[in-house]
Chains A and B, each alone.
Chain A
Amino acid sequence: MKPVNLTNQVEVEQLKKVSFIFNGKCLTGYKGQPIAAALFANGIRTIRYCEVTGEPRGIFCGIGHCFECRATVNGIPSKRTCLTLLEEGMIVSSDKKIGSGADFYES
């Protein structure tokens, strides 16, 4: 997917730029936006892999109800990225399939 394009560029540019790490990659976003929004803006929509099947998952409800957007944030697992706000230097990684290690689509 093509990255960014903010519908209201002006409003977002008033926010402070920060860097963060997602699955080992250094990315930039804006302080105070939900992590999921920052990932979208970087063209990333797959946030975790289903614990059981290893299938990729992203946001669904966007407001904290469905728990589809969970990730490990600064070492704390299962944080909802649609609610957790981005801060400088955050380390975010996808929650993965439990057990064998390999993802559904790799095995």
Chain B
Amino acid sequence: MKVDVVIIGAGPAGIVSSIELAKRGLKTVVIDEYFKPGGRLLGQLYEDPNLPKENRQWNGKVIASQLIDEAVALGVTFICQTTVWKIEESFIVYITDKDIKEIHAKSIILATGALEKALPVPGWTKVGVISVGAAQTFTNLHNVKVGERILFVGIDPLSISVAIEMKNSGIDVLGMVLPTPSTLSGFKSDPKTILESLALVSNLAPNKLFRFFGKFVKGKISSITLSILKYNLIKINGIPIFLRKAVTEINGVHEVESVTIRELSTKGEIMQGKVETLVVDTVCISGGLLPLVDSTQLVNCKLVDIPEIGGIVPLHNKYLKTTVNGVYVAGNITGIEGAKVAMAQGKLAALSLLNDLQLVEQAELLEAYDLVEEARKASPILFQPDIRKGRNIMQEKWEEYCASGSVVS
């Protein structure tokens, strides 16, 4: 098979890229290892306060299917249930499909999205302990109930958003607590950091009290707030957020039956004294997200570690070009952000590629660049508080790389 562009990953970033390329006449194929295209957009279902009042629902499944229809109508080919396992220079892409073994392409866009971080808690291998992504996928995409009485472990923008989605679908969400403090849980067990991070989702919650906390908990105020929070004041859409409690053990013989919960000090240490047992049948763990960068190793992109954008990512310029000529990146592989940003980046990567081929004007590229920041402003969830700083660090590192005489290969 011969094409102009191979896109790896059919999430919002990859699909939007494919649409932009196909519009300008480039033959494009999108490869995804899941059984249908859409990526993490497929599980998203929530009220977005930034959308017009008449229709506030952000229904990822519907958005994905509209985008896919548009791409297919423009002639884009999707190959699902297929993994890319090798890429040879300029470029032969080897895939696991039964019929098509290799695809020859002039350019590549890597749009493989993100991965959930593991957050081990004693008892987490028991049946009934699932990740927050599984909860979201099974509830919103597969339409099955994952449990009757659920407790969330790990309080962050994603777990709060999924807890609200699950409650809306009729599941009894008993609350959200922190994980057992350990070397692996890190800041995830620190009530103060978590409280401050709640500001990042305050747009998502209609609850006034929560919005108040979202805006005002910084520095000194958060210490005071925390000592009050022992009496758990915060509720988001009726879901209690226990910032001073941690799960120390998940119990059950065959499947999850209960959890052991203990109080935390304002500094996040386990306090001696009261031990609670809460009867639950499901525990949903949220450890945060990491860019999924495996595919960059197939083409030898240079990687850099920037914690502000979510960890190790391929080095790229502001137009999403990597250190390997002809290879571009878009979406969560460049850092953890919401679906709207991923879509805007999909467009930017496509225009960057088209600009390099002199198929679009510079002005169009600059316009696409501005749309990414607009999408960021319109996002109801901010996954990384210092994302803008992180993006600037990336640009500095790119300039350093170019100045060091390393030619973009």
- Chain A contact residues, CB within 8 Å of chain B: 1-2, 4-9, 11-12, 33-34, 36-37, 40-41, 45-47, 55-66, 68, 82-83, 85, 105
Contact = CB atoms under 8 A, between A and B. Distances in A.
A45 B127 contact: yes
B134 A46 contact: no
A40 B138 contact: yes
Contacts of A36: 138
Main secondary structure of the interface of B (DSSP, over half): loop
B230 to A, nearest CB: 32
Given A1-B281, A40-B145, A83 B34 contact: yes
A9 B142 CA distance: 11
Contact of A58 (B34, B127, B253): B127
26 contacts: A1-B148, A4-B144, A6-B144, A34-B35, A34-B142, A37-B143, A40-B146, A41-B144, A45-B128, A57-B125, A57-B127, A58-B127, A58-B128, A58-B130, A59-B130, A59-B138, A61-B116, A62-B130, A62-B133, A62-B134, A63-B134, A65-B116, A82-B134, A83-B81, A85-B35, A105-B253
B295 interface: no
Chain B interface bracket (under 10, 10 to 19, 20 to 34, 35 or more): 20 to 34
Nearest to B285: A60
A37 B129 CA distance: 15
Contacts of A105: 253-254
Contacts, number: 92
Contact of B254 (A2, A40, A46): A46
B145 A61 contact: no
Given A62-B131, A82-B134, 12 more contacts: A2-B148, A5-B145, A7-B143, A7-B170, A12-B143, A34-B142, A45-B255, A47-B127, A56-B255, A59-B138, A60-B130, A64-B33
Q: Is the interface of A mostly helix, strand, loop or mixed?
A: loop
B384 interface: no
B145 A60 contact: no
B147 interface: yes
B266 interface: no
B137 interface: yes
Contact of A61 (B33, B127, B133): B133
Contacts of B81: 83
Contacts of B127: 45-47, 56-58
B169 interface: yes
B115 interface: yes
B281 A40 contact: no
Contacts of A58: 127-128, 130, 255
B140 interface: yes
B353 to A, nearest CB: 28
Contacts of A63: 34, 133-134, 137
Interface string B21-54: 0000000000001110000000000000000000
B141 to A, nearest CB: 9
A65 B135 CA distance: 14
